[in-house]
Structures are given as structure tokens and as C-alpha cells.
Amino acid sequence: MLVILIFLAPWWVAFGLGIIFLFVYHSYYELILLGFIIDTLYNAPVDRLYNVQFVITIAAIILVIISTSIKARLRFYD
């Protein structure tokens, strides 16, 4: 669903829904794939980050790691 949304909506809509799905589903590693697809479609190096080209992919990896560690510490999250 989100892969189709990448082509129909702005990148921030698909990535925002991916972040929501990251906390709704138990393991949502598709966010990393989503970030990679967004980065390859809208490839624009960021000058403020020393011309890093895969900013959204790196952010997705960090978000998956953080959410996995938070979910492991919560009692009420299955």
C-alpha cells in the first residue's frame, strides 16, 4: 500500500504513514525499504549533512532500531 502511495502522494505522506505503521505493527521493517525507494526516487543530497544521499533510509533504520528497543521494554505491547 505504501509503495503505491509513494508514487501518488508526496514523500512525507508515505513516510509519515510508515512511521505510524511502525508503532502499530509488531515488526514493520518495510519502513527501511520505503525509505530506500523514496531516496532513489527523490535523490537529492543534503548539503547540511555533508552531502549524504540516503537521509530517509538512514532515518528509517534509526527509527526501526529505536522502536524495536522501546517495544521490547513495554509491558503492554505484544
* Residue 54 in domain: yes
Tell me how far apart the alpha carbons of residues 52 and 72 are, in angstroms, rounded to a whole number: 31
Q: Give the gyration radius of the chain's Cα atoms.
A: 13
Quick one: pLDDT at residue 77?
A: 65
Residue-wise pLDDT for 6-38, tens only, equals: 889 888 898 889 889 988 888 888 999 999 998
- Is 57 a member of any domain? yes
Q: Please report whether residue 29 resides in a domain.
A: yes
Query: Looking at this protein, which amino acid is placed at residue 14?
Result: A
Instruction: Tell me how far apart the 2 most distant CA atoms of the chain are, in Å.
Output: 42
Asked if residue 18 is part of any domain, the answer here is: yes
Specify which residues 46 forms β-bridges with. Answer: 52
* Residue 28: predicted pLDDT: 86
For the residues 48-76, what does the mean pLDDT come to? 86
Q: Is residue 78 part of a domain?
A: no
**Residue labelled with grid coordinates 532513489:** 40
Is 38 a domain residue?
A: yes
Task: Note the pTM of the prediction, 2 decimals.
Answer: 0.82
Q: How many domains does the chain have?
A: 1
Q: Which residue range is the domain that position 23 belongs to?
A: 2-73
Domain presence at residue 26: yes
Place of cell 508526496: 10
- Residue 78 pLDDT level (bands cut at 50, 70, 90): low
**What is the model's pLDDT at position 60?**
94
